Amino acid sequence: MKRMKELVDLLNKYGYEYYTLDKPSVTDQEYDRLMQELISLEEKYPNNILPDSPSQKIGGHIISEFKKVKHEVGMFSLGNVFNEEEIRAFDERISKVFKNHEYVCELKIDGLAVSLEYEKGLLKTASTRGDGITGEDITHNVKTIKSIPLKLNEPVDITVRGEIYMSKKRLEKLNEERKKQGLELFQNPRNAAAGSIRQLDSSVAAKRRLDAFLYHYPLTKFKTHFESLEYMKKIGFVVNPNIKLCKTINEVIDYINYWTIHREELPYEIDGVVIKINDINMQKELGYTVKVPKWATAYKFPATEVLTKLKDILFTVGRTGQITPNAILEPVKVAGSTISKATLHNEENCIKKDIRKGDYVYIRKAGDVIPEVVKVELSRRESTNEPFEMIKNCPMCTSTLIKEEKMADYFCTNENCPARKIESLIHFASKNAMNIEGLGEKIMEDFYNFGYIHKFSDIYLLHTKKDELKKLEGFGEKSITTLLENVENSKNNSLERLLFALGINGIGSKTAKILCKYYNSIDMLKETTKEELEKIKDIGEVLSENIVSYFKNENNIEEIEKLKFLGVNTSYKGKSVEVNEEFEGKKFVITGTIDNYSRDEIKEFIELKGGFTSDSVSKKTDIVIVGENAGSKKDKAIELNIEIWNEEKIISIMNASK
C-alpha cells in the first residue's frame, strides 16, 4: 500500500536524523502522529507490513527459546592494560613491526556486545557474543532498540559489531518503578541491559528503552578503521561521537586521562578506553593470539575510591545462618551510583583493617559493582571510636552464634530463625533459582510477616490468598494476576533450578546442574549415597555429606513431597550423563576452532560423557583437542607428551553419538 510505504520511509528518515545525526527535523508530536497512522494501517492490512517498519520497535514478539547463531567472523574479546606503563608496552610491541602507525581511541561502553547482520540493507540477524564463535539470536529484542536501524541508507550486505547499553537516567527511572513493585533492583546499567536483552518477550525489552553504539566493521572494504566508522555513520548506524584519531601514544594517554576525569559527565557508563590500530592492513598483519587481537587493547579504569563516614555496623543473617557485618555509611557517590552500605565480610577482616564505628573509611566498588571498605583513614579517627567486637548472639532470634574451627564466619544454627527463613524464601524465588518475578526482597518480607509465606510450598498456595492480597497497598488485580502467573510458570522449571532454590548448603547453580546430569529426578538424588556422590567430579566429601544429610531430614522430605503434590516439576529437562570410557574422569583442553561445533557444544558433550574441561594445559591434562589455528596449548601438550585428538576424531565421535 502506497501510504504505508510513504510513512515507513518518512519515519525511518526522521529516526535517522534523530538518533544518528542528532538533528531532528520534526517534533516528537508529529513523529508520534505519523507512527499512529502507520500502526492503524498495519492493523487494517497486516499482510502488507513492511520488514523495515518502525512499528516493530514497539515489541510484542515472543519466542520460546534463544537459538544458536554461528558468527561469520569470530567475536574476540580484548586484552586489558591497567596503567601508563602497560599502554606504552603495548605501543612498543606495535612499533617493533610498524614505525608509522595511528590509533583510534574509543570509549569502552559498559554494556552487552552485539553482532548485527544486514542483507540488502535490511536487518536479518542480531546475536550475542556467546563464546566468540557461536552466540544467541536476539533479533526480536534488538528490533525494539530505536537507535539500531531496521533498514540502512544503502542496500548493502554488511555485518557490524557494537554495544547495547542503558543510560544512567533510564536505569534510575527503571529502578524507581521496580522499587514500587517490590522487585529486585538492577545494580548497574550493564546488568539491566543484559537482563533486558535476555527476555523472551520483546515488549519487555521495548519498555526498557535500550540504546546502542556501533564500533566495528569486521569485513571492512576501507583502508582504515576510522574510515569504516565514518561509513557506518553514513549508512545509518549510531557511532559514539567521542571517538578520536591519535597520531602518537602520548595523544592516546591524553585521551585516557581526559576521560578518567570526565567519565561521570557522560549520560551512560564507561569502564575504560579501547585502543585500536587504525590501518586495516596493519591489523591483518598483526593478527590474533588464541584469545585476543594483537592490534587492539582495552585500558580499564581503576576502581574508584571515595572517603566517607562509617556511621554504624549492622549485622545481617543469611539463608544458611551466616552472620555478616555491614558498614552503614554516610551516603556517597562512587562510580556513578550512591552507596550507603558496604560489606565488611567477617570478623577477621574488621580486625585486620581495624575498622571501627565512627571511622572515616575509603569505599571502592570492586569491578565497578560490589561496594567494599578498603581501609580506614586513621588521621581522622576520634579517640572515642571503640575497637570492633563481634556479636555473640543472633541479631534476630538471639540464639548463640557458632564459629567452627578454621572457619572465618559465625553462624546462627537456629533453623527457625525468622531472618534465615526470609532469606531462604527470597533465595528460592530469586532469578537464578525459581525465577519468580514479583517476589522480591521487600514483598517476600511483607508476605512472611503477614503470615502468607513461611515455607517454600506456601508460595504455590498464594492463589488461595488472592482476596487478602487485594487489600494490601500496591496490589491491584493486574499485579496479583501477574504474580500468580509467574508462580504458576515456575512450576515448569527444570530440576537444577529447584535444587539450587532449596538452599542445600554448598550447592550453587553450577553444582546443581552437575548433579542433575547424574540424577535426573529428585527421587533418584534423595536415594543416593555419600560414596556414589564423591565419584562425581566437583562433588567432594563435604558437599556429599551436606546432600545426604539434607535428604535425611524428615521436614525437608515432607516439603519436597508437598511441592510435588502442588505441581512443581522435580525432573531434569536437560541431557543426562551417558558415561563413556574414552571420556570418564578425564581432563580435556580444547584449542583452535572445530568445524560445525562451538567450544561450548564440545564442552557439553565431554561433560555428558563423564569427562571435564579446563582452559589451561598442565601435567594433570589427559587429552588436548586441537582444531584449526591452534595456539600455544598444542605446543605445551607436545612438550608434556599429552595425548592429542585432532578435529576429525572429535567430530567423528560427536557425529556418531547423534
Which of 170-184, 270-284, 464-478, 626-640 reaches the highest mean pLDDT?
A: 270-284
377 band by pLDDT with thresholds 50, 70 and 90:
very high
633 band by pLDDT with thresholds 50, 70 and 90:
confident
By the 8 A CB rule, do 103 and 298 touch? no
238 band by pLDDT with thresholds 50, 70 and 90:
very high
Residue 32 pLDDT > 70, yes or no? no
Instruction: Report how far apart, in Å, the C-alpha atoms of 301 and of each of 160, 269, 298, 395 are.
Output: 26, 12, 10, 39
User: Alpha helix locations (H) across 156-309?
Assistant: 168-180, 189-197, 202-208, 225-234, 249-262, 280-286
Give the predicted TM-score (pTM) of the model. 0.51
pLDDT in tens, 445-467: 889 888 899 999 999 999 999 88
Residue 366 pLDDT > 60, yes or no? no
Q: Is 108 among the residues known to form the active site?
A: yes
Residues 6+ apart with CB under 8 A from 525: 499, 515, 519, 547, 551
Give all domains of the chain, ordered by start, each with its CATH number.
2-58 (1.10.287.610), 70-300 (3.30.470.30), 305-410 (2.40.50.140), 418-490 (1.10.150.20), 495-565 (1.10.150.20), 587-656 (3.40.50.10190)
Cell numbers of 592, please?
A: 583452535
Average pLDDT, the chain: 88
pLDDT in tens, 276-294: 999 999 999 998 876 688 9
Among the ranges given (386-390, 403-407, 566-570), the one the predictor scored with the smallest mean pLDDT? 403-407
- Average pLDDT for residues 42-59, to the nearest whole number? 74
22 band by pLDDT with thresholds 50, 70 and 90:
low
- Return the percentage of the chain with pLDDT > 70, whole number: 95
368 band by pLDDT with thresholds 50, 70 and 90:
very low
- Return the percentage of the chain with pLDDT > 90, whole number: 50
Around Cβ 400, how many Cβ atoms within 10 Å? 11
What is residue 498's predicted lDDT score, i.e. its pLDDT?
Answer: 96
Residue 192 pLDDT > 60, yes or no? yes
Residue 546 pLDDT > 80, yes or no? yes
pLDDT in tens, 127-182: 998 878 888 999 999 999 999 999 999 999 999 999 999 999 999 899 888 888 87
Number of DSSP helices (H) and strands (E) in the chain, helices first: 25, 22
* 259 vs 332, residue with greater confidence: 259
By the 8 A CB rule, do 620 and 595 touch? no
What is residue 291's predicted lDDT score, i.e. its pLDDT?
Answer: 67
Catalytic one of 108, 143, 151, 586? 108
What is residue 540's predicted lDDT score, i.e. its pLDDT?
Answer: 82
Which of 13-17, 25-29, 59-63, 402-406 reaches the highest mean pLDDT?
A: 402-406
